[in-house]
Amino acid sequence: MEMWLREMQIENAAMTYKIKETLVRKKTKYQDLAIVDTEAFGKMLVLDGIVQTTIKDEFVYHEMITHIPLFTHPNPKKVLVVGGGDGGAIREILKHPSVEKAVLCEIDEDVITECKKYLPEISCALDDKRCEVFVGDGIKYVKEHKNEFDVIIVDSTDPFSIAEGLFGGNFYKDIFEALTEDGIFIAQTETPFFLPDTVRKVFNDAKSIFPVTKLFMAAIPTYPGGYWSFTVGSKKYDPSQADTSKIPHLDTKYYTPELHRACFVLPKYVEEVIK
């Protein structure tokens, strides 16, 4: 018997994947969690029926959400990841020798536990001595840590249910205060093709708070539309003007110094979304 996962994140469109095996399925305190092994994308983390990451294409998302801000900041020492319980962002952050401490703040401990068990390729750095794992509410954590982080990465699920509060002006104001005087924040900000209103709102919320606000795109096959947006808010440094000649070689599969600046060149329809 064939098994298929059908993701209905976007109204009037669906993504469908053939499943070889369900590795774990459980109701956590916060959400429905599943890790499945698929024919096309390998092992896949699914939360509330929405694909979060897969073994085959996770490198795109995790490299772009981390290396853009970390190579924009001249000396990032302390980094916070809100969400991101799969550990992929932490893995990429710790490739930067300047980073002395990376804090993962994940509300759902089961995500961390199950990803360590079934997705070790992604979660492999969570036990690194430079990584501190805090299980709790990211909104509350940010509010309680003023002027502390050089980079804050909001690696959240989509803006529904438990992640809804991670998209918007009030949270971004608290992030601004939690950053050091030249700090940088980045968040995944959805698909401009299917959710242009969400992209526009999040970008404008960030723009109203941060002196420098930029949006860039990356191609992620398992996300609706295959073309995903990220918003950067910076107190001082412009990520689109980073000196890429000083970027050292890293073990990456998607991110390159050349791509760092090129990704900020937006298609016309995306430019119009954020005007």
Q: Give CA–CA dist 212/227, Å, rounded.
A: 23
Query: 36 with 46: CB under 8 angstroms?
Result: yes
From edge to edge, which strands make up the β-sheet containing 212-219? 131-135, 101-106, 78-83, 149-155, 179-188, 227-234, 212-219
3 state SS for 119-155: CHHHHCCCCCCCEEEEECCHHHHHHCCCCCEEEEEEE
Ligand-binding site membership of 138 (annotated): yes
Question: Which residue numbers are catalytic?
Answer: 155
Ligand-binding site membership of 156 (annotated): yes
Ligand-binding site membership of 42 (annotated): no
Ligand-binding site membership of 158 (annotated): yes
Q: At what angle do helices 169-178 and 196-207 cross, to 10 degrees?
A: 40
Q: Which residues pair with 80 in a beta bridge?
A: 103, 152
* Pairing state between β 42-47 and 50-54: antiparallel
Ligand-binding site membership of 31 (annotated): yes
Q: Which residues pair with 134 in a beta bridge?
A: 105
> Angle CA(47)–CA(231)–CA(149) in degrees, nearest 5?
90
Query: 83 with 157: CB under 8 angstroms?
Result: yes
Ligand-binding site membership of 67 (annotated): no
CB-based burial label for 93 (10 Å; 0-12, 13-18, 19+): buried
Ligand-binding site membership of 9 (annotated): no
Beta-carbon contacts of residue 32 (< 8 Å; ≥ 6 apart): 25, 26, 47, 48, 49
Ligand-binding site membership of 137 (annotated): yes
Measure Cα distances from 33 to 28, 30, 159 in Å: 7, 9, 17
Encoding tokens for residue 272? 């119009």
Q: What residues are designated binding site for S-methyl-5'-thioadenosine?
A: 31, 106, 137-138
Q: What residues are designated binding site for spermidine?
A: 62, 86, 155-158
Q: What residues are designated binding site?
A: 31, 62, 86, 106, 137-138, 155-158
